[in-house]
Amino acid sequence: MIFEHTYEIILDDVFLHLTGVAEHLDLYLKIEGLNPAGSIKLKTALNMVTDAEQRGILRPDGRLVESSSGSLGVALAMVSAEKGYHFLCVTDPNTSPQCVAVMRALGADVVGVDWLDASGGYLGSRISYIEQLLTEDPDLVWLNQYANPANWFVHDRCTAAAITAELSDIDFLFVGTGTSGTLMGCVSHFRTASPGTRIVAVDAVGSVNFGSPAARRYIPGIGASRRPEIFRPEVVDEVVLVAEADTVRACRWLARRHGLFAGGSTGSVVSAILQRAPDLPAGSRVVGISPDLGDRYVRTIYDDDWVTERFGAACLVPATDDQPRLSPLRS
């Protein structure tokens, strides 16, 4: 394959048939991290930028700003570099140092906010900071992934369509919920293309997306301290809340047992599948979306000291485990 632009290198047809996990299920992971931006967010970034160009709000040599806990920021930095835009990413203490370093290497400016919002997270704080910047500089363009329909539409047209093109008779689709772009796009596509598929939303304990109490979280990607405007929680069939300790266990288990160096969002999705697996009918075809890989989590999820300090030594999964031990809390 020969591409003309780096941001075009999006591999939308890579699936891992994950055996030896829940033997009574036919389980697949849609691997999204095999592109230059390292996550599913490359599609989101490119579509939002293209949409802004087409609507005339983003012009040559324009200046972009966006809030991100990491992956979207990297993707927007990549797209902006090749298209000639100036990009400022507003991050927080949960953003991995690797993501910040990559964004800066791609020419982006990065600023971090370190004050908690009313829900005990940083999302509201990041957005408030951007709103302040916009009042000071009206020429700055905020793509606003939380309210932008271009966020979810690309996952209807690309991500979800790629799943139904490759696999038929899907019984359950597990999708992580952050800004909800991937989830809303999948719901939109599957309700028409595969209405019998049950859509299972995966969220973090401590996230407010589905009305649960807010709590401090450490792993970016899944969950939110403020419900995004594009999110419609009533359209999903089921919700599974995953404790961050179980996200860590699932990631480390996937690496040790299956050689899959998974990111935090992927670990949450796999943990949710394992939680629900005992109750799913034998022979069910299950697909989980794996949004990211683990390279940006080496100093967090895969660092023994970081994990022990936050979640305890029980999260350090032995290589001999057949499955990660889940927390007593099941949501």
Show the beta-strand stretches assigned E in the chain: 15-17, 26-31, 63-67, 86-91, 109-112, 141-142, 172-176, 198-204, 238-242, 285-290
pLDDT at 330: 45
**Which region holds residue 72: left if phi is over 0, alpha if psi is between -120 and 50, else beta?**
alpha
Q: Average pLDDT, whole number, for the chain?
A: 93
DSSP 285: E
pLDDT at 22: 86
Q: Which of 143-147, 184-188, 314-318 has the lowest mean pLDDT?
A: 314-318
pLDDT at 319: 52
Go through 241-267 and write b for each residue having 16 or more CB atoms within 10 A of its CB, e for each that does not.
bbbbbbbbbbbbbbbebbebbbbbbbb
pLDDT at 314: 85
pLDDT at 331: 42
pLDDT at 326 over 70: no
pTM of the model: 0.93
pLDDT at 191 over 60: yes
Q: Which of 19-28, 212-221, 298-307, 311-320 has the lowest mean pLDDT?
A: 311-320
| Position with higher pLDDT, 313 vs 289 | 289
Q: Which of 71-75, 225-229, 233-237 has the lowest mean pLDDT?
A: 225-229
3-state SS of the chain: helix, strand, coil percent to 5? 40, 15, 45
